[in-house]
Amino acid sequence: MFVSILKSVVRVGSLRLIDASGRIHMVGDGTVPCATVRLCSRRLAYSLAANPSLAIGEAYMDNLLTVEEGTIYDFLEILARNYAPSSHPWLSLLERISRGLKQRNPTGRARRNVAHHYDLSGELYDLFLDRDRQYSCAYFERADDTLEVAQERKKQHIAAKLLLDRPGLRILDIGSGWGGLGLYLAREACADVTGVTLSAEQHQASQARTAEADLAERVRFYLRDYREEGGRYDRVVSIGMFEHVGKRNYAEFFGKLHDLLVEDGIALVHTIGYSDAPGPISPFIRKHIFPGADLPSLSEITAAAERSGLIITDIEVLRLHYAETLHHWRKRFVAHWNDAARLYDERFCRMWEFYLALCEVGFRHRTNVVFQVQLARRLDAVPIIRDYIVDWERHGHQPARCDVSGAVTLRR
C-alpha cells in the first residue's frame, strides 16, 4: 500500500525502498535527490499508508524506518518536491479532513504546551542555537552569513520596524524566550522592556541574563500568559509566539494587542505561516514537538487583525530565511548528536533531527514562510514610506543609545 502511494506521488528524484521482507522497490526517475530507506517491520507499511504525515516521523523515531543511503533530509526532500494531495485520492481525502481542524488554546493548556517544548534542558538548545539563543527565523542578507550574524540582523530588522524613535519607550515582548530580544531593545534604544513567557526555564534564564547585564532597572521578565497582562505600551512585539495561539484564539490575540497599545503605538508580529490556503500544522509536529501549535495563512491573520480595530501598516514575507536558519540548526545538532543523546537518548535525537529536517524541507520546498506584520491603532503612527527601516539598519537615524547605567548618549 505504501509503495503504491509512493509510486503514484514520486516522479522526480530517486528513492530505493527496501521493505520488511527484503524486496527492493525503485521509485522515481533516477535523478537527484537520492535516498535508500529500509522498513524494519511488516506492519509498518500499513501505518505508513494510513497516515504518512504522522507515521513516517514516528517510524524514524522508533528506528523502524532507517535511512541506509543519504539522510532523513534527503528522503523528506524527495517527498516534498513531489507532494500534492491531488496526486493520490487517499492523500486528497486526508487533506480535506484535516483542513477544518482549528485549535483552541486556553491559558492552562497553553502553559502545559509550552512546558513540553521550551522547558527542555537549556544545554540542549546550546547545542544548536546561536549564542543569544534566538529560537526563531534569522535574517540572512548574504548567503555566507553565519548564524550568529543572521540572528543579530534579525533583531536589528525587528527593532527597525518598531520605530524606536525616542528613548524610554515602553515595550512589551510577548513570548520573550531567553530574553535576547528584550535585552537588545533595552541596550539599543534605551527602552523600558517587559517580557512575558510561559516557560519556567526561559523565565529563569532571562532573569539571570538581565541581572548579569545590569539592566534590571529597565528590563523585567514575568512568568505569565499575555492575556493576563495589563497596562498600556508604546510598542508590542511578538516573535515566534503566534504559532502557539491557536486558530480559534486569533481574534482574542489581536483584540488584546489593540488594548495593550497606546493610541500612537506600534506592534510587530513575526510568525511562521502558509503562503497558500489555510491548513493544519503537521500532525508529527503537533503531537511530538509543539502540542497546541497551529500555523496561519496570511488571510487568517489579516481577517482577525481587521476585526480588532488595528490597522495593518506593513507586511513582509520572509521566504527562504527560515530554511537557511533550520539548515544551520540541523547541521549543528547532528554534529553534537552524542551530547544530545547524553542529555536524553537516541530516540529523542532521531525525533529532533526529523523535526528540524521536516521543517527545513517545508520552508525550502513547500509553502512555509515567515510573516512580519506591523500594526497600529492610527494611520499616521509610522512614516508613509519605509525608509525609516533601512535608516535604522544602517545606523543612520537611531536617536540614542544607553550605556549600562541608563545614561543616554546621542548617535553621531
> Per residue in 193-208, pLDDT tens?
999 999 999 999 999 9
- Kindly state the average pLDDT of the residues 175-200: 97
Give mean pLDDT, residues 265-274: 98
User: From CA 345, how far away is CA 207, in angstroms rounded?
Assistant: 30
Is 359 part of the annotated catalytic residue set?
Answer: yes
Average confidence (pLDDT) over 332-352: 98
What does the radius of gyration of the chain's CA atoms come to, in whole angstroms?
Answer: 22
pLDDT top residue among 396 and 39 = 39
pLDDT tens per residue, range 223-245: 999 999 999 999 999 999 999 99
For residue 280, whether the previous peptide bond is cis, meaning omega lies within 30 degrees of 0, is no
pLDDT grade for 85, boundaries at 50, 70 and 90: low
What per-residue confidence (pLDDT) applies to 412?
A: 32
| pLDDT of 411 | 46
Q: What pLDDT does 198 receive?
A: 95
| CA–CA distance, 37 with 29 (Å, rounded to integer) | 16
Share of the chain above pLDDT 90, in %: 82
Number of Cβ within 10 Å of residue 173's Cβ equals 28
State residue 394's pLDDT score.
86
Q: Cα 197 to chain center, whole Å?
A: 16
Mean pLDDT for 16-37 is 96
pLDDT per position as a tens digit, 36-67? 999 999 999 889 998 999 999 999 999 999 99
Strands 14-18, 24-28: parallel, antiparallel or unpaired by DSSP? antiparallel
pLDDT of residue 55: 96
pLDDT value for 289: 96
410 pLDDT more than 50: no
Computed over every residue of the chain, the mean pLDDT equals: 91
Average pLDDT over residues 267-287: 94
**What pLDDT does residue 87 have?**
55
Does residue 99 carry a pLDDT above 60?
Answer: no
Give the pLDDT score at 400. 53
| pLDDT at residue 395, as a whole number | 73
Q: How far apart are alpha carbons 101 and 349 in whole angstroms?
A: 29
pLDDT of the residue at 107: 72
The predicted model scores a pTM of: 0.92
172 grid coordinates? 512589551
Given the residues 137, 190, 349, 359, select the one marked as catalytic. Answer: 359
The pLDDT of residue 237 is 98
Q: What is the pLDDT of residue 399?
A: 52
Statement: residue 406 has pLDDT above 60: no
pLDDT of residue 342: 98
Are 103 and 292 in contact by the 8 Å Cβ rule? The answer is yes
Using the predicted structure, report yes or no on whether residue 102 has a pLDDT greater than 70.
no
pLDDT above 70 for 398 = no
Task: Give me the pLDDT at residue 86, please.
Answer: 53
First to last CA, the chain: 68
**Is pLDDT above 50 for 68?**
yes
- Domains of the chain are 2-99 (no CATH), 107-410 (3.40.50.150)
> Does position 360 have pLDDT exceeding 60, yes or no?
yes
Residue 373 CB neighbours (<10 A): 26
